Amino acid sequence: MNILITKNKNIQFLFKVYYFIFLLIVLSVLTSLIFTNSFYQKSSVSQNPFVNADKKDFSISFIENTLTTNSLQQNTLFNDFQIDHIRETKSIPNIVIAKLPNDLKKIKSIKNRKELFIKITLPLIIQENNKLVSLNKKIKLIKSNFDRVSRKESAWIYKLMNEYKADTIDSLLIKVDKIPVSLALAQAVIESGWGTSRFAYEGNALFGQYVWGATDDGMIPNDRETNEIYKVKSFNNLGDSVKSYMKNLNTNFHYNEFRINRYVLRSNNISLNGTYLADYLFNYSIEDDYVDKIKNIIEINDFEDFENLILEKQFIPITDII
């Protein structure tokens, strides 16, 4: 007898019970899937160190699944990013990669390994430079309207002067400015060995910055002398490493000549030249030929082609972020 048309009340009741249980299971599964997806999408933004909590920039594509070079290269956003195309168009995808792949050094092709490193590092340098240029413009605007500066603007300038160790607005303008892309990229290559050094893939340290004292945010070099106490500064992500490097060049007294010569170029509307400004970074390393190394890396790899690149302002939905 068909259970759907039976007049047996016990069977009808049993059918209703099973139907109710089945309905609950289906609803539970659907609810779980909905909330899991929602939670993942929110987490991918809120936990990302590059996203401002107050104003999220969805024009940036965050690629987080970079444990291996294979997983990174399979990402369509990253795979469409071609170096030759960047040189031709002077436009670069607005992507952020938090860490280097663990197996970067295992890539047998030197050409492929170099290109992968450039594709990871170059957008981070451009992004940080854009922030510095934006700050520089804001400082200039406040300076030009100093008689009408608001209390909020005054507090902001005061805080920035303390942060950059500047006594005047003019000295602040000398310190808050971009770093030549070719220069930053060349130093990242030298200090990280094209991203293959232990400090780079374990500590996200691209520029070999030293720290002293009891701080924990550093890694002890294997060849450090027993009487030494310095460490190589480590970071939560590659972007923080780029930011710290630029802050170092913009504030440390060892690079006063670098900043002054940069300011002269900028004041005369002359494009920044990494090869020229490299002459003033002789204090960055104890190596006598360090400046020559920077220049050679820039020249051999045509890094000057990457100056004045423009970030693409494309909108990427959260669901497309890996």
What pLDDT shows up at residue 6? 55
* CA–CA separation, 45 and 35 (whole Å): 16
Residue 18 or residue 239, greater confidence: 239
Question: Do residues 269 and 306 share a domain?
Answer: yes
Are both 102 and 30 inside the same structural domain? Answer: no
Residue 31, domain extent: 1-47
Q: pLDDT digit string (tens) for 104-121?
A: 888 888 998 999 999 999
Question: Domain check: are 129 and 28 in the same one?
Answer: no
Q: What is the pLDDT of residue 212?
A: 74
| pLDDT recorded at residue 64 | 53
Sign, CA torsion 229/235/240/245: positive
Residue 306's pLDDT is 96
Q: Is 273 left (phi over 0), alpha (psi -120 to 50) or beta?
A: beta
The lowest-confidence range among 52-61, 73-82, 121-130, 277-286 is: 52-61
Cβ atoms < 10 Å from Cβ of 130 = 15
CATH code (residue 170): 1.10.530.10
Per-residue pLDDT at 321: 32
Residue 54 lies in a domain: no
